[in-house]
Amino acid sequence: MEGTLSLFEWRPPQPPEVTPAVAAPAARIVVFDSETTGTDRTRDQVIELCVQYGLDDGAPSRVWRIKPSVPIHPGAQAVHGITMEQLEGCPTFAAVADEIAAVFAEAEIVVGYNLTFDIDMLQAEYARIGKPMLDFASKKIIDAFRLWQQFEPRSLQHAHQRFVGKEFAAAHTASADVAATGRVLAGMLRHFKLEGECEGSIDWEQVATKADPLGAQRASWVGPSRHLRWENEVIVLGFGKYMGTAVHELAAGPDRSFLRWVIEKDFPVHVGEVCKAALDHPGDQFLAWARERYGQPAPTSAPPFAGTAVAK
């Protein structure tokens, strides 16, 4: 019949042409960490920065060693082991800032562990040399520490289950939480071998150095808050636009009105008292008063300020 195909002419229909799948390009991942002269982002500086291009052990990486303009704090050096002598021939941050910025500009994902500190210290370096800060807002930030916290919560209930071995009832009532916290700490001391060799021989100083997040900072506070601190045997401001400035120098300069503003505002009593004393007395006399009233530089966490007469 006209228009029909014979059995010899028939061919099975061909499947539609399939375009081969194209693998998505790998995300540009940068893992980074920094070492610094200390933990004060207004004063301390980055002395080592490492970036790794990807997550694998064999991924390429690069390290910058950087010469700071401030000394390395002994506490920081005890952690990373880097000395000023080792950095003597290294470039300044300003000399490598553009290279480092180019690495982060190319990254899509930025990874680190407890990243807030590293990002803050890095941004402070760019602000210090008058260059634009790095654009982290357009990146995906992955903090492995925060991720761990999300998937293995650290609530009191979780701690009780791990270190005591069971859940506890009446959670989130003050009395139950207090009792549970005591049991958890006792369990932690046993687990981490902090109990000492005999009963009652716990080294609480050692425990506090590991468990108090502000311990190292608090040792330098003037009074019971972080607003003022001892630094190089003078008192400096720990807040505001004059952070890091010696109080007695500010009081003797053209911007002394800032201290008057502090006195009039709702700051802790000891802050206003110190600012007033700085305005009322010459530098040496002010510092002598401060040492007598608040203890020597780097005083204890409970300086002897209560009950002492206010300087007139």
- CATH for 143: 3.30.420.10
Amino acid found at 99: E
Q: With pLDDT > 70 as the criterion, what percentage of the chain qualifies? A: 83
* Tokens encoding 1: 């019949």
**Alpha-helix residue ranges (DSSP H) falling in the chain:** 74-80, 93-106, 115-128, 144-151, 156-163, 174-191, 204-211, 215-218, 247-251, 257-264, 269-280, 283-294
Whole-structure pTM value: 0.59
**Whether the predicted pLDDT of 15 surpasses 90:** no
In a domain, 236, yes or no: yes
In a domain, 10, yes or no: no
Between CA 36 and CA 82 the distance in angstroms is 9
Residues 130 and 39 in one domain: yes
Between CA 233 and CA 246 the distance in angstroms is 10
Q: Which residues have C-beta within 8 Å of that of residue 121, sequence separation ≥ 6? A: 34, 36, 41, 44, 45, 46
**Confidence band of 288 (pLDDT split at 50, 70, 90):** very high
**Confidence band of 174 (pLDDT split at 50, 70, 90):** confident
Own/partner pairs, 69-75, CB within 8 angstroms, 24+ separation: 69/45, 70/37, 70/43, 70/44, 70/45, 71/37, 72/37, 72/38, 72/47, 73/37, 73/38, 73/39, 73/44, 75/38, 75/216
In a domain, 172, yes or no: no
Choose the weakest-confidence range: 8-22, 131-145, 239-253, 254-268.
Answer: 8-22
Mean pLDDT across the stretch 277-306? 76
The more confidently predicted of residues 25 and 43 is 43
Residues 43 and 139 in one domain: yes
Relative to beta strand 140-143, strand 109-112 is parallel
**Whether the predicted pLDDT of 285 surpasses 80:** yes
Which of 126, 147, 168 finishes a domain? 147
Between CA 224 and CA 218 the distance in angstroms is 8
Choose the weakest-confidence range: 23-27, 120-124, 132-136.
Answer: 23-27
How much is the pLDDT for 218?
Answer: 81
End-to-end CA distance of the chain: 122
Q: Which residues form the domain of 246?
A: 216-294
In a domain, 16, yes or no: no
**Whether the predicted pLDDT of 13 surpasses 70:** no
Between CA 300 and CA 294 the distance in angstroms is 9
Sign of the C-alpha dihedral, residues 158, 161, 163, 169?
positive
How much is the pLDDT for 18?
Answer: 56
Residues 135 and 224 in one domain: no
Which of 91, 113, 147 finishes a domain? 147
What are the C-alpha distances in Å from 283 to residues 246, 260, 297?
A: 10, 17, 15
In a domain, 52, yes or no: yes
Residue with tokens 């590991």: 210
Between CA 297 and CA 287 the distance in angstroms is 10
pLDDT (tens digit per residue) in 68-104: 999 999 889 999 999 999 999 999 999 999 999 999 9
In a domain, 9, yes or no: no
Mean pLDDT across the stretch 56-64? 91
Mean pLDDT across the stretch 263-288? 95
In a domain, 66, yes or no: yes
**Confidence band of 206 (pLDDT split at 50, 70, 90):** confident
Relative to beta strand 228-231, strand 234-237 is antiparallel
Residues 33 and 142 in one domain: yes
* Tokens encoding 247: 């109080």
**Whether the predicted pLDDT of 17 surpasses 80:** no
**Whether the predicted pLDDT of 200 surpasses 90:** no
- 120 backbone dihedrals φ, ψ, rounded to 5°: -60, -45
Neighbours of 31 (CB within 10 A): 20
Total structural domains in the chain? 2
Sign of the C-alpha dihedral, residues 287, 293, 299, 302?
negative
In a domain, 276, yes or no: yes
How much is the pLDDT for 112?
Answer: 94
Between CA 178 and CA 2 the distance in angstroms is 96
Residues 220 and 137 in one domain: no
**Confidence band of 210 (pLDDT split at 50, 70, 90):** confident
3-state secondary structure of 31: strand
**Confidence band of 131 (pLDDT split at 50, 70, 90):** very high
